[in-house]
Structure 1
Amino acid sequence: MATVLDSNSFTRFSSSYRFILSPSLFHNFFHCPLKPPQRPLTSLLHSTTTTLFTPLFKDSKSHHAHHSSASPIYVLPPSPQTYVSDSNPSSLSEASRDGDFSAALDSFVYGLFNLLRLSARHSDIELARAVHASVVKLEEDTYLGNALIVAYLKLGLFSDAYNVFLDLSSPDVVSYTALISGFSKSNREDTALELFLHMRNSGIEPNEYSFVAILTACIRIMHLDLGLQIHNLAIKMGFLDSAFVANALMGLYSNCGYYDVVFKLFGEMRERDIASWNTVIAAAVKESMHDAALQLFRDMQATDAFKIDYFTLSTLLTACVESVAVMEGKQVHAHAIKAGFESNLSVGNTLVGFYTKCGTVDDVVSLFERMTVRDVITWTEMVTAYMEFGLVDSALRIFGEMPEKNPVSYNALLSGFCQNGEGLKALQLFLKLVEHRVELTDFSLTSIISACSLLADYRVSKQIHGFVLKFGFGPNVCIEAALLDMYTRCGRMEDAKKMFCRWQLKEGRSVAWTSMLCGYARNGQPDEGILLIQHSQLEGTMIMDEIAFSSMLGLCGVIGCHELGKQIHCHVIKLGFEFDVGVGNAVISMYFKCWNVDDAIKMFHNMPKTDIVSWNALITGHILHRLGDRALEIWSNMQKEGIRPDEITFVLVISAYRLSNLNLVDDCRDLFHSMRTVYGIEPTSEHYAAFISVLGYWGLLEEAEEIINKMPFEPTASVWRTLLDSCRLHKNTIIGKRVAKQIISLEPKDPSTYVLIANLYSASGRWHCSEEIRENMREDGFRKHPAQSWIISQKNMHSFYARDRSHPQAKDIYRGLEILIMECMKVGYVPDTSFVLHEVEEFQKKEFLFHHSAKLAATYGLLTSKHGKPVRIVKNILLCGDCHTFLKFVSIVTKRDIFLRDSSGFHYFSGGLCSCKDYW
């Protein structure tokens, strides 16, 4: 009965040949020391053995020659034509006498192939070396040499594989291709490229597997130039019709960012497999063409020959996450269930990420509990999910239950703390990581730098910077950008400026430039930000990408620099960025903040695509202009068009009720309660603060206080501060005093708290209490953020502080202000000294009042602008009552309109009236 040799039968087979070979020859043949082959086998064997086997080896090359040209990289041994029985030694002798010994040797060689396969499958290096030792006793066989190369490559023995290759007198395309493929996948891409060139110079033509192998090397080292040459060679040799080669080319162009070429190649393919579809879908996702990716999936489904796999589903879910395509993502989930892939670990992990972004925490938890197989990625995704939903305690719990943790897990916890404003917890965790010598990555350092930004602690920021320098990460865009942002958030603008000026990383220039702009705006230095933009324009170094445009437009909005904002908008249109949703949203916000409501609305309607941020910007703009009823109409349109609101939307809409011309408190109550029941959004501190503001506006202070006391979580200082401000407006010191105690207990070191309380006492005439508050501030070393007003004149920003005489034209400004005050007093203006927080003589109080920053800015604007043109002023904090009254009288005596934007919104002063109706 015929027998195919395996590892056991090989042992029996070798023993059957002992009658042919002498004992010494047998020992040398099967038990020689392991060493790389140095020369052909015939020179190693004794002459008698050589004579015996020579007839059998004459045709060994030709016997296997038909395999070498068409075989793939993974060499398969030929099946022997005749199988030799291992149970009857005499039959072997008889076979040899009859000239059938070559068939027996074929079976022997086939056994060697099987053993090489077993060695690779079971990672048995010793077995592979033993087979190699046996092979060197035979006459050279390229096919058997190729099998050795493949086995050694699979075992990770690249030097051994290469040595076998070097000892082949006539390596073929399979020999080269096996090595090129192995080296391409093991960080030896340069060697793979050299081998491919050597193969071409040797006159050996590549096959389709050779093309795939060399393209793999090009993909790994992003060698596009060589990839283009390989592409041309594939066309010339007619291999572009191979799906394998076309897929590899698409992978190269996709990795190098040439997605249009990927789509072109895909469209020209005669035959496609599932890898072709997966590659083009992945390319569409990388290019943020999420709708196209989903359409490709539908086209793929329409082709009966193809079925989805786990990679298809994972890629599509990524597209749904990035585009927040909730319904499409759920449809992909349904496909996963139908195709039996929901239990796949990769798909399950991607689904957790999808529902984290596009679902609820219950969706994520339910999915996690159904997963029968979990890995460290699954658990880390759950930590990230809880952090995304603001459930820090739950994230800590799941982190503690993790059976295995890696640096990514710790980074998820670290960044989650930062994301939820828990800078101190992030710092404490980081110290533990350092203490226990957990591996730190650049992401770890970026996160802890962000934590320092949250803490805004100068001393801690210096220590962390020192640690980063000592750690020696070298030039790193993410870390350097995080450090620069940390400087700006800690108020270290001089240090930030020095770092920016010596910035060496070209690829991070845009991020650094943007950080400086935001830093200037954040630290009350918007004029420096405008100078940076103008300086960059003159030098031709202005950054022009989506992030930079959004930042510049944002700064123009903060300052109210309308002309510069329009110029930047022109650049946006010229460079084609008007189709970017983020930039479009920044344009909308800029125009609203620069008094240009019409262009803001026009921009919204002209945008080819909008998102929830666009709608929020539209509502915000109308709220800034105190157009509450119009903001509520936009909210109604959103509901009609099926636009899903987010948390910010509800904060804005609730705020719009306060600005409505009608008392819509009942409607506001209904909306506040429907957030949870209808939209599944839990009210946060911001929602409560907005709702308290509405109740306070209509004088429902007792109800507002009761709602705060019944909040399901601890009220923040911002919620209490909203009620305190309402108490000031209604001069209710009884509730105000209770509220003040709550705020001080929560934020004992916040200067704005003391200012609010002092204002409350001053407004009710309790000067001794107000002065006590101010004295406490001085004793504790607190300083409130100074009031600043500015005006844009002749494309330059002119800023003023109270009693500021630093302006070059200060003398003219103060003289003009004196005249203006006297003219206003003639028509009824009476200075309101109750807003002066100093216990001084009455004439001194008036002196303080007369030189507030808003009055100085208004005077400068009137002196430098054309007659009949409105004066536009921006103030960084709330406008005081006396300045508000003064500007109403100024609009009478000058017959000029005055537009002022403060922290509460816009004031339009015209003919002695204000658009805020004296309530802000």
Structure 2
Amino acid sequence: MACLSPSMVSLPQPHSLEDPNSFQKLIEDWLFCSLKSPKTLPQLKSFHAQTIKTGLMANDLVSGQLLLCCSLSYSMHYARQIFDAIPRPKLFFYNAMIKGYSETGAHHEALRLYSIMRARSVPCDSFTFPVVLRSASTLARIDVGEELHGLVTKTGFDSKVIVQTALIDMYCACGLSDCGRLVFDRIRDRDVICWNTMVAGYVKCGNFSSASQLFDLMPKKNISSWNTLIDMYCKCGNIDRARRLFDEMPERDFISWNALLSGYAKVGQCEAARKLFDEMPQRNVVSWNVVITCYVHNRRFAEALELFRMMQVTDIKPNEVTVVAVLPACAHLGALDLGQWVNTFIHRHQIKMDVYVNTALIDMYGKCGALEDAQRVFDEAIKKDTFLCSTMIEVLAMHGKAEAAFRVFTYMTSIGIKPNDVTFVGLLKACSHAGLVDIGRKYFEMMTAEFGLMPKMEHFGCMVDLLSRAGLLEEAHELVKSMPIEPHPIVWATLLSSCRIHHNVKLAEEVALQLIELEPQSCENYVLLSNIYSQAGRWHEAAKLRKKMKERGVIKKPGCSSIEVNNDVYEFFAGDRDHPRCKEIYEMLNQMASRLKTEGYVPQLSSALHDVDLDGKEQTLMYHSEKLAVAFGLLSTQHGTPIRIVKNLRVCDDCHLFMKIVSKYYKRPIIARDCNRFHHFSDGSCSCSDYW
């Protein structure tokens, strides 16, 4: 008979059915059929009541189906209540419950119920063993697995391929592929699932050569066989071999396409990934997520956002993985409007606000300069973990909010969230940006003394930055030389940068020579020392260094500033004349310079790092990328709205002074992110208190 609607919970009416047995059979069929699809808890309770009312709880078929329906509905707690009310449960009920626990991820409960079943001398069958072995595999419980293997042999179920296959999977999941192979070799009539399990087992154990050899021996391969090998080669970086297998496949499914797509993404081949993506006959959400993530990981943020926009016009609904991939692209570009749109999209489409989504939102808002929004997301997050709290600390540190960062740390430790390496990097950065040397020393010592965390390169780098920014250059130098690990060039570069701030040319030369030896092709080291020479008026040495750069083919990284206007991100370089509104921008900038000079702006000519006359220096300074971005922002946004700028290098002294006076004269808040931190300019002052 046809199934009635699962949402119906009222009994069928007898009408013309005079035979009570026929009516009872009608109810039995109705209940059995209705319980084949998931239900809400109230519906389950209603169906349970109907089975009791009609006396069908004694019917093994109906009551067993009720238990299975509970597992389908993720209501194992209610299923257990029903199960415990059965006086002497038969094997069928145990199997239904163990399967429900296993499929809902409650593997410990599955093994506990299996132990109860054995204690009550209930015999196992070929349905029991594979399910229990799956839970033992997931938990890597080799003791349970070996006990089950003995029972399988004792009870004669070792002739069942499905049971033997589950044993192979269990041994491989526990890292014992040799034991799995012994089981495999004893099976006479192996099916394709058995072969696939052994191949996949070798892959799990990292025995790729054995997996490949066994794959070649397979008498029959299905799509899963091919996918296992493609995924293996992709994960071990052999993308060429993966592609050859992909091309040889007689047929492909989503898993095949996405596995190869992930392989290209893993090795950073964005063009190959995009080409394959465009060739796909159909795409699912995984396909989109892989390519978007690939672009983001390779710092091709604009292309990642463009792909996300394309996704909106398809019938594929983005999920939490999509937004966690997209939000960092918004963060790196400083695209706040687009990031806010993504946040609205999350709420409108009811995407799960898990800890990963909340962490990505905090990071995005923080890096786009919207500190209040980042704090709001943090405060509203129901679940907080180490990564979420550490991200909030790092965001506050970037904005110079040291005390607020310390409060988050106190909060997380007070509720039992254990800090990690990243947490202390954020705390030390907060101390560095605020010049809190003693507090920074306290946190550096606390890492090991209270939390057993050994300082890593990042922590030493933060301490060197903290000390050298505060003018303690010799102490910072001694710390670098006494590090228990070989100092990374970034640590030396941090010290060199502070030599520029404190005009210590002698130490700068010593540090720079060591840096140039370590990284002969890194432009930053040459540029830093050249700038130090220029600031000291030693133009000859600066020119020699620039000549050496040219001889070695070292290209200087150009300063670049970006600004978001109406959901579009515009980039400017120093002296840039490629923008369509170039004439307006330069006219605006010259007009601004004239007006600001009446407000006290005096160009900081020490920031001009070329040996030219005063007019030449002033003109060079005037066309820095961040000034062009500010001028464009004033032309393109409404009066009173904040101007948000992202720069790839450290903001110079002159631009810093310029933006302070712009914020006062034009009554515009300016939020600028450089490579070190955020600067919030408002009414003629900066949040960094001129300490950066």
Q: Residues 169-318 of structure 1: matches in 2 within 5 Å?
A: 238-240=59-61, 258=72, 260=74, 268-269=82-83, 270=86, 271=89, 278-285=98-105, 315=135
For 1:501, the aligned partner's letter is D
Partner of 1:871: 643
C-alpha separation between the residues in 2 aligned to 1:300 and 1:376?
22
Match of 2:229 among 441, 452, 455: 441
Partner of 2:541: 769
Alignment CA distance shift 1:713-1:822 (3 Å): same
3-state SS, counterpart of residue 831 of structure 1: coil
Alignment CA distance shift 1:406-1:479 (3 Å): closer
Partner of 1:229: none
C-alpha separation between the residues in 2 aligned to 1:844 and 1:346?
82
The answer as to whether partners of 1:696 and 1:723 remain within 8 angstroms in 2 is yes
The answer as to whether partners of 1:740 and 1:757 remain within 8 angstroms in 2 is yes
Match of 2:476 among 697, 704, 709: 704
Deviations 1:512-531 (A, max 9, x none): 445336626844x5444444
Partner of 1:515: 291
Deviations 1:395-428 (A, max 9, x none): xxxxxxxxxx9997788779xxxxxxxxxxxxxx
Alignment CA distance shift 1:297-1:768 (3 Å): farther
For 1:283, the aligned partner's letter is E
Partner of 1:577: 351
The answer as to whether partners of 1:556 and 1:590 remain within 8 angstroms in 2 is yes
The answer as to whether partners of 1:521 and 1:555 remain within 8 angstroms in 2 is no
**What root-mean-square deviation, in Å, do the aligned CA atoms of Structure 1 and Structure 2 show?**
4.4
For 1:447, the aligned partner's letter is K
Q: 260-269 or 544-553: which moved more?
A: 260-269
Partner of 1:605: 379
Q: Residues 345-356 of structure 1: matches in 2 within 5 Å?
A: none
Matching of residue 485 in structure 1 with residue 306 in structure 2 = no
Partner of 2:679: 907
Q: Residues 403-552 of structure 1: matches in 2 within 5 Å?
A: 441-449=229-237, 466-472=240-246, 476-485=256-265, 489=268, 497-504=274-281, 506-507=283-284, 509-513=285-289, 515-516=291-292, 519=295, 522-523=298-299, 526-537=301-312, 539-540=313-314, 543-552=317-326
C-alpha separation between the residues in 1 aligned to 2:111 and 2:343?
37
C-alpha separation between the residues in 2 aligned to 1:802 and 1:576?
43
Q: Could you tell me how far 1:484 is from its partner in structure 2?
A: 4.1
Q: Could you tell me how far 1:639 is from its partner in structure 2?
A: 1.7
C-alpha separation between the residues in 1 aligned to 2:80 and 2:408?
44
The answer as to whether partners of 2:57 and 2:63 remain within 8 angstroms in 1 is no
Q: Residues 635-674 of structure 1: matches in 2 within 5 Å?
A: 635-660=409-434, 663=436, 665-674=437-446
C-alpha separation between the residues in 2 aligned to 1:431 and 1:784?
46
3-state SS, counterpart of residue 731 of structure 1: coil
3-state SS, counterpart of residue 558 of structure 1: helix
Q: 745-754 or 468-477: which moved more?
A: 468-477
C-alpha separation between the residues in 1 aligned to 2:210 and 2:201?
15
Q: Could you tell me how far 1:833 is from its partner in structure 2?
A: 4.1
Q: 687-696 or 840-849: which moved more?
A: 840-849
* Number of positions where the alignment pairs a residue of Structure 1 with one of Structure 2: 568
Q: Residues 124-139 of structure 1: matches in 2 within 5 Å?
A: none
Q: Could you tell me how far 1:670 is from its partner in structure 2?
A: 3.3
Deviations 1:343-371 (A, max 9, x none): 66779xxxxxxxxxxxxxxxxxxxxxxxx
For 1:441, the aligned partner's letter is L
Alignment CA distance shift 1:582-1:673 (3 Å): same
For 2:292, the aligned partner's letter is M
For 1:676, the aligned partner's letter is T
Deviations 1:707-737 (A, max 9, x none): 2222222222222222222222222222222
C-alpha separation between the residues in 1 aligned to 2:532 and 2:498?
10
C-alpha separation between the residues in 2 aligned to 1:645 and 1:790?
34
The answer as to whether partners of 2:398 and 2:430 remain within 8 angstroms in 1 is no
C-alpha separation between the residues in 2 aligned to 1:748 and 1:529?
33
For 1:482, the aligned partner's letter is S
3-state SS, counterpart of residue 679 of structure 2: strand
Match of 1:565 among 339, 362, 378: 339
C-alpha separation between the residues in 2 aligned to 1:601 and 1:543?
28
3-state SS, counterpart of residue 260 of structure 1: coil
Partner of 1:690: 462
Alignment CA distance shift 1:313-1:376 (3 Å): closer
The answer as to whether partners of 1:692 and 1:723 remain within 8 angstroms in 2 is yes
Deviations 1:551-608 (A, max 9, x none): 2222222223333322222221233324322112222222223333233222222222
The answer as to whether partners of 2:681 and 2:687 remain within 8 angstroms in 1 is yes
The answer as to whether partners of 1:717 and 1:743 remain within 8 angstroms in 2 is yes
Identity of aligned residues (%): 29
Deviations 1:851-898 (A, max 9, x none): 221111100111122222222222233222222122122223323221
For 2:346, the aligned partner's letter is V
For 2:342, the aligned partner's letter is I
C-alpha separation between the residues in 2 aligned to 1:306 and 1:885?
82
Alignment CA distance shift 1:505-1:732 (3 Å): farther
Task: Name which structure has the greater RCO, CA cutoff 8 Å, separation 6+.
Answer: 2
Deviations 1:784-821 (A, max 9, x none): 44332122222322221222222111111111111112
The answer as to whether partners of 1:689 and 1:719 remain within 8 angstroms in 2 is yes
Match of 2:634 among 862, 879, 890: 862
C-alpha separation between the residues in 2 aligned to 1:710 and 1:259?
60
Q: Could you tell me how far 1:645 is from its partner in structure 2?
A: 1.0
The answer as to whether partners of 2:645 and 2:671 remain within 8 angstroms in 1 is yes
C-alpha separation between the residues in 2 aligned to 1:259 and 1:283?
11
3-state SS, counterpart of residue 595 of structure 1: coil
Partner of 2:193: none
Q: 598-607 or 747-756: which moved more?
A: 747-756
Structure 2: runs of 5 or more not aligned? 1-55, 122-127, 148-169, 178-197, 218-227
C-alpha separation between the residues in 2 aligned to 1:275 and 1:735?
74
C-alpha separation between the residues in 2 aligned to 1:896 and 1:601?
23
Q: Could you tell me how far 1:907 is from its partner in structure 2?
A: 0.8
The answer as to whether partners of 2:230 and 2:260 remain within 8 angstroms in 1 is no
Alignment CA distance shift 1:376-1:541 (3 Å): closer
- Mark the structure with the bigger radius of gyration: 1
C-alpha separation between the residues in 2 aligned to 1:380 and 1:645?
35
3-state SS, counterpart of residue 882 of structure 1: helix
Q: Could you tell me how far 1:536 is from its partner in structure 2?
A: 3.7
Q: Could you tell me how far 1:782 is from its partner in structure 2?
A: 2.9
How high is the TM-score relative to the length of structure 2? 0.70
3-state SS, counterpart of residue 645 of structure 2: strand
The answer as to whether partners of 2:397 and 2:405 remain within 8 angstroms in 1 is yes
Partner of 1:680: 452
Q: Residues 596-635 of structure 1: matches in 2 within 5 Å?
A: 596-635=370-409
Match of 2:518 among 746, 753, 771: 746
Deviations 1:238-279 (A, max 9, x none): 443787x889x68xx97xxx4537777655443277655543
How high is the TM-score relative to the length of structure 1? 0.54
3-state SS, counterpart of residue 798 of structure 1: strand
Partner of 1:125: none
3-state SS, counterpart of residue 561 of structure 2: strand
